[in-house]
Chain A
């Protein structure tokens, strides 16, 4: 009996051993290790998160695009060219003739018009950017029209910089959908929402082959893609939630690109020759203070808080790959952004103590501190540690606190932000815009509202920048907003600009993380 058992075990070992010849990721396939949790849909109109934006950007083409290394130039994609009317209220686009959807249907202006109308009508998260320009369920049908199969006319409901509109058309949520295929799968007038959750109907270089949430996503290249067949015949995204496991797989060559990895693991792989794409994002790490709290309402206290976080060691160690030092609300390199590294928020516990004493707190302060999610816990702990020397005691409550932040139910919170609009307007509208400060207004989309700080001057300027089309004048407005913001003193203290690192295996080229998350696989090659 026991011998039979032993024999059985030996057989198992033999079989497993024999299967041990594992092929590294094949030369014509790209394997991306990532986190496939929390992707409720692959429908462009229903998404706004990072990983899924990358997926959608390869299944669907946009009318226009911006390259990750040059965010200011709007480039043709499905639209070959476009003209802007003299009054700057109409954009007329001419679509290329050779583009087809994965179904074989040609891409027409009718598909493009329907896609834009659908995003607005659904009103899901994908509409956040384009709805800023005044499109509504009632006006979109008459404003966005196809005049012939190749011509799309977009009329703007209010004066808005046409660049902003084009930027939003380049976002993953406005990937152009095959209207015929989608409508063939429509149920009860749902605009194919249910079907598009787990199917794709795009004209992108890849088509969806398999999708299992929290497990795997497989796409295959389209040989008949209008831009030519991509070098990678297949791209696989695999759910690898554990950074240590991902590191082993990158090292062994089974994974080509790693996302969401811990700093220690990235560092180790970098030392072994992997390329690290820093992945600059259009967002920041901040300390948020609720000004409904009587202590935090005092400008002197908020000024003191600018000096209680020792962020330099943080930026050099645990958050080395998550961000770089930056203190302006305009992302580095954008119009109006400071040309040198802004300063002012240096760690200075003595100065903070002095400011707190002037504000009437000679014995310091005690506050609760929320990290917005588990990922921010390390920053919260660092803040707690360094603030103690300045006389500020924090009690940390770990957990997912974004809902509390949105509901103004917090005292102090550390978090990070992101936006997909590659224009300073995208961050300014988050940080310097609060059109209605009442609790009932529930404007949780605006960070300034979340911290209950009113800034009517800045509000006016941000609104002005939306309609301004002259680049020099826009730049001047942005600079003015940035300056005004720092003078508040602000309820959101910025210390780092966000980066989302990508670890790329030696020999893989052409994979460039996109700051607006529309990372494309078309140019990826392997040696």
Chain B
């Protein structure tokens, strides 16, 4: 008993210290992020008052709104009162939508998450096999083709690709929807549960609406995913090459292990951990990097919301969105750390 406690106490203490250290560093990161965003926003030349009033406003109205927004106060005080309100859960109101930012984020964020998930799925399903095939056939024609396919996705302007895809799959073939998350005829038929349209419709067994939602997300999702194929496939290729050059592979081959087994059971198993980081980071990038695709497809997501907020100097929106993206990035980091430990016994 005593030995156990003596052994366990410092261990628990260490855990607690680790945890609180991590919590503090997360908190500092987030506050720093907000401070940076806030200061930059105040230095921008855009005028938030005009976002509220329009440009043809008279003097009295302008000044009333200016004071309502608290713009007369010194910057540090504006920031302090923002943080104060934030701690009570109030992220302020958006100037451009007229709603509480928290409420807006609850509608735009699921749209973006859903799009990013579909994109990540597409990117991984194409990118990883492509990288493996390229690595196994290094220097051969198939390797070059894989490189070109991947690079094309990364270098063709995404809005052009989006419009071309719309032209083929929407205008000519009529396979998919053109804009928004759902057809206007299905609007409001399925009450939201999670905000993820595919999940909500599936949960409620509304398969017609599910198909409609799928037909709206598949094109922007696939194009966004294709964009990330280059990165994922190149990384997969180089991880694989590194493994394939290892001695254990050569001896496995010498022992008569089949080619397929060598690739999937030996080499691929060993690159899973590294791949996970790559995919997790790609996912984070897809969250805020989808502005162009969101614009082309009229997708009501976070990217458009944040960009408009920036343009109009709608600082509550910018701060709220940046904070959310920050939290998501940190969460992804923590989750991929944890998965590392599960997949790689050495890090346990």
Contacts and interface: CB of A to CB of B under 8 A. Distances in A.
Contact of A244 (B59, B61, B163): B163
A251 B171 contact: yes
Interface of B: 45-47, 50-64, 94-99, 104, 107-108, 125, 159, 163, 166-167, 170-171, 173-180, 183-185, 187-188, 208, 211-212, 214-215, 218, 295-298, 300, 304-305, 308, 311-312
A131 to B, nearest CB: 7
Contact of A12 (B166, B214, B300): B214
B99 to A, nearest CB: 7
A210 interface: yes
A84 B94 CA distance: 44
Interface of A: 5, 9, 12, 15-23, 25-26, 29, 31, 37-41, 48-49, 123-125, 127-128, 131, 197-198, 209-210, 212-216, 218, 236, 238-242, 244-245, 248-249, 251-252, 254, 372, 399-404, 406, 417-419, 430, 441-445
30 contacts: A9-B125, A20-B175, A22-B177, A25-B184, A38-B51, A40-B95, A40-B98, A41-B98, A48-B54, A125-B53, A125-B61, A127-B61, A197-B98, A198-B98, A198-B99, A210-B188, A213-B98, A215-B180, A218-B187, A239-B179, A239-B298, A241-B298, A242-B295, A242-B296, A244-B163, A248-B171, A254-B178, A402-B47, A418-B56, A445-B57
B96 A248 contact: no
Given A197-B98, A210-B188, A214-B300, A239 B180 contact: yes
Given A210-B187, A244-B163, A442-B59, A16 B218 contact: yes
Given A245-B178, A249-B178, A128 B308 contact: no
A242 B94 CA distance: 23
Contacts of B173: 20
Contact of A216 (B62, B187, B305): B187
Given A197-B98, A245-B163, A399 B45 contact: yes
Contacts, number: 181
Contact of A402 (B50, B166, B183): B50
Contacts of A215: 107, 180, 298, 300
B297 A245 contact: yes
B180 A248 contact: no
Contacts of B305: 214
A404 B218 CA distance: 43
Nearest to A236: B184
A39 B125 CA distance: 40
Contacts of A445: 56-59
B270 to A, nearest CB: 18
Contact of A15 (B97, B104, B211): B211
Contacts of B53: 48, 124-125
Central interface residue in B183, B187, B296, B305, by most chain A CB within 10 Å:
B187
A16 B180 contact: no
In order of increasing CB-CB distance, the 9 nearest A-B pairs are A403-B47, A19-B211, A213-B97, A40-B98, A215-B300, A445-B58, A402-B55, A20-B175, A197-B98
Contact of A128 (B61, B180, B295): B61
Given A131-B58, A210-B188, A239-B298, 6 more contacts: A18-B211, A22-B177, A402-B55, A406-B55, A417-B56, A444-B62
Nearest to B292: A242
Nearest to B167: A248
B96 A213 contact: yes
Given A41-B98, A213-B104, A241-B304, A444 B57 contact: yes
Contact of A419 (B56, B176, B177): B56
B99 A248 contact: no
Central interface residue in A5, A215, A406, by most chain B CB within 10 Å:
A215
A22 B211 CA distance: 11
Contacts of A244: 163, 166, 296
